[in-house]
Chain A
Amino acid sequence: MSKTVLITLDNTSGDYLVQFSKKYTLDKNVHLTVPRGYVAIAFINGKALFKQSQCVEEKVLAKTGKEFAGKEIQFAFYSPNFHPEISYGFGPIHVKNDKLKETYRIGINGKMVLTIKDYVQLINYFSFSDSITVEDVRERLLPTIKSVGIPIVSSLFVDSNVSVFEVNAMIGDIRENMSKAFITENALENLGIQVDSVTINEVYVNEEDLELIRNRINNSTDQIGG
């Protein structure tokens, strides 16, 4: 009697967005188990053909039909309700505010919550049959976040009346503008990803620049007083 082959998910940690099973030749012995809260996409000869939600030791050939017997099958497991959170940071951004006669360097860091709208698109974007981690997605997104975020932050600081000592007052505006920009960002759409929310932990100013501005202000105050 031939041995039963059971395909299932090995790792349910939150680090993975997509996990691929090994490749198997489809025959009557191949069975599939999909844990609760997960979905498995079946790839037959590298082409996504159907998906399967929670099941226990289901005979795959019964589902596909005999015409797929002997073909190579592989499953990609994902959790549709998983919203990965990625941290980001970018800088230094050189700010020259003519209104306040200040030049300084700033940086931003925060977090983003994502929704994967199209898992097949995400899989196609990465090399096929390699599992995709949250870190992989973060690495792909960081250049985009930087290229979208820097112009937004620069323009907000240049036109503002907020002094270098009160930069955190700009957090609300930065967050709002970044959220709007990410909704229409093509790079995210190409990955099948949508940004759910953007948070900003901190707007930091380069210490040296801050010190220089502080000294300049103090000196000018002394001169007026003296």
Chain B
Amino acid sequence: MFWKKSNLTNQIKLKQEILNDINLSLYHLEKGKHNKALDAEAVNSLLKDLRSSYKRLENSFGNGETDISLGCEKVRKSLKELEQAANGNLFGRFEDAAVNLMADIDEIIDLENEVISVISEDVDNSSKRQKTLFKKLGEISEIEQIFITNKNRVEAEIAKLERDKKELDSKLLAESSPRIKQSIFRQIQAEIKKMEMLQVKSSQYASCYNLLSSIKAYANELIKAGQFSETELDKARIILDINRLRYVLDDPAKLEPLLKRIAADLQKSQKSVADIETGIDKAFALNKESYDAMMEYEKNLIDERSQKQEISGTVSDLEEYIKGLNK
């Protein structure tokens, strides 16, 4: 006999899945699988707070009727951002992502505890064209992620080689036999060559990442501005040529026309912004003239009044004044 699964079963499944996802990510980060450029102590302190949020979520239950699917979606999105930030080298990004994740977890807990009745949906006013372009932007993020992962992997490899070289250096100094010394030296030379080669690859990954990152930031702005201008969307569409961007590693020169286009566009925007600012300054100058005239008038008025006050006084004041003159 078959029947439709109850809402409770579905909610339990959703909850278990999201708990597993969070746990797995936190486990990896707690084991130190994040960019070593991030301050380990600060990362661990945030991870402790995240673990505490995870435990609270694990121990929280709804009444079987609450729908946490939207909350799970938001948590999953924040989790992805946290993983990306963990691979980057900026702690501020990691902290922002961790705080967002905690807030999203709290939202599910509050929904289950009936503190709120519904999970707020992120308002999305973007048009169909914008959505498509945002999707493409997401693809760039993925490519970007591949570069940063590769860079971190190569860096870790270089660190290992450096450690080995240091050990071989010590051995070389301690060894007395010229034959063994020769052998160790050959090994050291090989290690140095490997390091040099990997260093080149690491720099290549880093520069490709930085390049994509700048293009992504610019395209993101263009898409957002697309709400007011279709031309901006057209520009974003040209920039977001995924095929061209995907092969940036093989031949960064392929991106040269694109970069030139961005530079020209920026220059044009800069000029128009400068023109607008000049216009505003002129308008303000006119206002300023009238403002200065008003201030001048007010100052004269105040001076006039204070002079009158100096002259005015009681009869006794006048007598005092005459006495003073006679003396």
Contact = CB atoms under 8 A, between A and B. Distances in A.
Interface string B58-75: 011111100000000000
A49 B63 contact: no
Given A49-B12, A118-B56, A65 B62 contact: no
A188 to B, nearest CB: 13
Interface string B6-39: 1111001000000000000000000000000000
A117 B63 CA distance: 18
Interface stretch (A50-58, A81-89, A136-144): A50-58
A192 interface: yes
Interface in A98-156: 118-121, 124
B179 interface: no
A41 interface: yes
Contacts of A53: 63, 114
12 contacts: A48-B59, A48-B61, A49-B12, A50-B64, A63-B6, A64-B6, A65-B5, A67-B6, A67-B9, A118-B56, A124-B59, A189-B52
Give the 9 A-B CB pairs with smallest separation, nearest first.
A65-B6, A120-B59, A50-B64, A51-B61, A118-B59, A50-B61, A63-B64, A121-B59, A64-B8
A214 interface: no
Interface residues of B, number: 17
Given A65-B8, A67-B9, A118-B56, A49 B61 contact: yes
Nearest to B11: A50
Interface residues of A, number: 20
A66 interface: yes
Nearest to B4: A65
B228 interface: no
A193 to B, nearest CB: 13
Interface of B: 3, 5-9, 12, 52, 55-56, 59-64, 114
B155 to A, nearest CB: 36
A67 B63 contact: no
Residue from A65, A67, A192 whose CB has the most chain B CB atoms within 10 Å: A65
B3 A66 contact: yes
A53 B112 CA distance: 12
Contact of B62 (A50, A66, A67, A68): A50
B51 to A, nearest CB: 12
A33 to B, nearest CB: 15
Contacts of A63: 6, 8, 64
Contacts of B63: 50-53
Contacts of A120: 59-61
Contacts of A51: 61-63
A192 B59 contact: yes
A51 B64 CA distance: 7
Contacts of A64: 6, 8, 64
A129 B9 CA distance: 23
Nearest to B58: A120
A51 B111 CA distance: 13
Contact of B9 (A65, A118, A189, A192): A65
A49 B6 contact: no
B5 A67 contact: yes
Given A63-B64, A66-B3, A49 B56 contact: no
Interface in A32-71: 41, 48-53, 63-68
Contacts of A121: 55, 59
A105 B61 CA distance: 49
Contact of A49 (B7, B8, B55, B114): B8
Contacts of B6: 63-68
